[in-house]
Amino acid sequence: MKILHTSDWHLGRSLYGRKRYNEFSAFLEWLADTIAQQNIDVLLVAGDIFDTSTPSNKAQELYYRFLCRVANSCCRHIVVIAGNHDSPSFLNAPRELLRVLNVHVVGAMTDRPEDEVIVIDDFKTGDAGLQDKGACSAIICAVPYLRDKDIRLVEAGETIENKQAKLLDGIRKHYERVCTIAEQKRAEMMQQQLQSPYQKSAIPIIAMGHLFTAGGKTFDGDGVRELYVGSLAHVDENIFPPSIDYLALGHLHVPQCVGQSGRIRYSGSPVPMGFGEANQEKSVVIAELSGQQPDNSHLQLHLFLQKIPCFQPLVGISGSMEEIQNRIDALRKDKSNAWIEIEYTGSEVIGNLRERIESLIDGTSMEIRRIRNKRVMERVIGRMADDETLDDLNVNDVFERCLDSVEVPPEDRPSMAQCYQEIVQNLLEEDKNDA
């Protein structure tokens, strides 16, 4: 069985106001072609399909067009889980219709953990040309992003440490419940295989998730949100049941392995979400599981990282005016179509910096997406600069400045910051489509 694992598409995301639909469309075309070329059996999409809970019509069109194309290819099943950016109710709305295409969608945790256990049928052809749909080739534990309110009971007077312990325990128990059901189903299926005339094969348990593991790598400006209040509940690999043969994770945009076994991986985002990811090599994970299972040991796992082409170059340039000009001249000679972020660090104060830089790319297909004048910023540090925008601040920066403006004493700030972060988290997790 060959599985392709991807995540964090963030369809509809823009970069400093510039729409990126051409990139997303090119990626999905490439992905559909790769699935066909690699003869993939199952596609796993581990969350953050869309960038917001209310995706645009164009983003939705790209998503559904891709699903229809892949459903009619060699890929027999597609499993999609929601991430923290997704609206659970939006993803779930066409779930019954998509199931006809063997597209399985899990938007949110429910009271029935068995809803997250998906049996992948193995269609086999016998001598008479009839299909045996009773055979099973894999069991998927499709665990979506677990919201704080889903897995933790709020109590008055809790400390950050109490919350962390409850969150980790809630995540552990949920995976335990789902995987226990999967193990029971596997035992039943393997018993049925003894009665089948077809060749016996092992049945892997493949889990999915959208969470932040301890030690995970991130980049500045990649848009990865902290999932829980206080940057807590970074999950350790030991929290997952040992019966999992492969765990396909989403949320972190850097392709990476968790732990030493190689069985827990992030596929990473397919396109750079910001200039911090500009030089990062993007990929999808192709996993092949094979072998027998005489003693409940893990199947043989062969992993291959399929490199994703760069559909839109991003270039960050930092330095003096001369250094910026030399770098742009080199890009001109290469006939680059890059989107560029400029950080001016020269000692000279340049009032018309934007005009001078824009003139350097005149007549090319390059675009300047952002210019930061570090010298101006340093001169007005501690207050809002004339050229400083909300792009330069995050929600915590704004809150800190509010505290400064009303002179809140230092001893009162930690408790206020915790309450503020809980409010922000509730707003981010609010499902605007759930009426």
245-260 confidence digits (pLDDT tens)? 999 999 999 899 988 7
Q: Confidence band (pLDDT; 50, 70, 90) for 231?
A: very low
pLDDT of residue 318: 92
Q: Confidence band (pLDDT; 50, 70, 90) for 20?
A: very high
The model's pLDDT over 34-63, given as tens digits with 9 standing for 90+, comes to: 999 999 999 999 999 999 999 999 999 999
Question: Taking all residues of the chain, what is their mean pLDDT, rounded to a whole number?
Answer: 83
pLDDT of residue 46: 96
**Entry pTM:** 0.82
Read off φ and ψ for residue 51, nearest 5 degrees.
-85, -25
Mean pLDDT of 293-307: 78
CA nearest to 208, candidates 286, 264, 168:
264
Least confident of 4-13, 158-167, 208-217, 391-400: 391-400
Q: Which domains does the chain have, with CATH numbers?
A: 2-307 (3.60.21.10), 314-392 (3.30.160.720)
The model's pLDDT over 332-379, given as tens digits with 9 standing for 90+, comes to: 999 999 999 999 988 887 778 889 999 999 999 999 999 988 665 554
**256-257/283-290 β-pairing:** unpaired
User: Hey, what amino acid is at 255?
Assistant: P
Residue 184 host element (H or E): helix 160-193
Burial profile 175-192: b = 16 or more Cβ within 10 angstroms, e = fewer: bebbbebbbebbeebeee
Share of the chain above pLDDT 70, in %: 79
